[in-house]
């Protein structure tokens, strides 16, 4: 079971920052998840939300900022453990930090309603420009149109399906949508990660990964029911608890 650093070692350092990713590497991580946006001037950057309200305390949207403007904001401003200045990094900066250690990379593309036209082409070009990166990459998105565009642009790119507010009742339609875009992974929330649901996902031919798992009992339960990977803010702690395989 993969133990996937969720936005880096985000329990200990500000999420999706170079500091968080460096700490995850130091803790022995080989599998990583992070969120990709695009600035006004077309630079791919790593940050979770579309705006900076939660991380920097500023009501500004990434889509409205150039890279030079975005870099001025402290996205660690609201992180209680460490408010030292950290900016939302460029994608290539993140890869520089985690790339040598990485065996598996989940690029979650934030592109609801196609707010970043052309982000699919931009990310694919980046993946192909980095030696060995395309083979390690899985691209996920909550936006179904984004997944469809990735598949149209590249028959080879590995896709992961994410569904908003999924329930057991909605799982079957979601599996059909995942098949329609040729996804290989299906990522689901811990609250619906029961043995029955995980079995349905795996029988449909997908690898099942669960977010966000931060408790020992949950990690062990996920291992027991056959989950392929867990996203966690505590990569060091869960690494001690959970057998990898």
Catalytic residues: 6, 48
Q: What is the DSSP letter of 6?
A: E
Place of tokens 């408790």: 215
Do residues 185 and 159 touch, judged by C-beta distance below 8 A? yes
Both tokens of residue 236?
């060091």
Residues of the chain by 3-state class (helix, strand, coil), percent to 5:
40, 20, 40
Do residues 13 and 32 touch, judged by C-beta distance below 8 A? no
Give the Å distances, CA to CA, from 74 to 9, 28, 54, 233: 18, 27, 11, 20
Give the Å distances, CA to CA, from 89 to 20, 41, 104, 109, 117: 11, 15, 20, 15, 20
Do residues 7 and 234 touch, judged by C-beta distance below 8 A? no
Do residues 110 and 145 touch, judged by C-beta distance below 8 A? no
Distance CA(236)–CA(234), nearest Å, equals 6
């Amino acid at each position: 079971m993969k133990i996937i650093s969720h936005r880096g070692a985000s329990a200990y350092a500000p999420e999706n920052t170079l500091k968080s990713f460096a700490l995850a590497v130091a803790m022995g991580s080989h599998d990583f998840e992070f969120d990709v946006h695009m600035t006004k001037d077309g630079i791919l950057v790593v940050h979770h939300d579309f705006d900076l309200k939660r991380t920097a305390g500023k009501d500004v949207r990434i889509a409205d900022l150039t890279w030079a403007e975005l870099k001025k904001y402290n996205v660690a401003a609201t992180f209680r453990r460490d408010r030292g200045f950290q900016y939302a990094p460029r994608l290539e900066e993140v890869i520089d930090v985690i790339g040598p250690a990485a065996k598996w990379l989940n690029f979650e593309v934030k592109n609801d309603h196609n707010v970043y036209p052309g982000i699919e082409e931009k990310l694919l070009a980046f993946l192909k420009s980095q030696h060995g990166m395309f083979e390690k990459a899985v691209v996920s998105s909550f936006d179904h149109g984004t997944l469809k565009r990735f598949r149209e642009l590249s028959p080879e790119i590995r896709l992961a399906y994410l569904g908003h507010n999924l329930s057991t009742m909605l799982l079957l339609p979601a599996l059909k949508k995942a098949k329609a875009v040729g996804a290989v992974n299906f990522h689901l929330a811990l609250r619906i990660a029961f043995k029955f649901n995980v079995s349905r996902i795996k029988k449909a031919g997908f690898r099942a990964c669960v977010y966000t798992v931060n408790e020992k009992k949950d990690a062990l339960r996920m291992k027991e029911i056959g989950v392929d990977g867990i996203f966690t803010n505590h990569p060091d702690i869960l690494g001690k608890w959970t057998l990898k395989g």
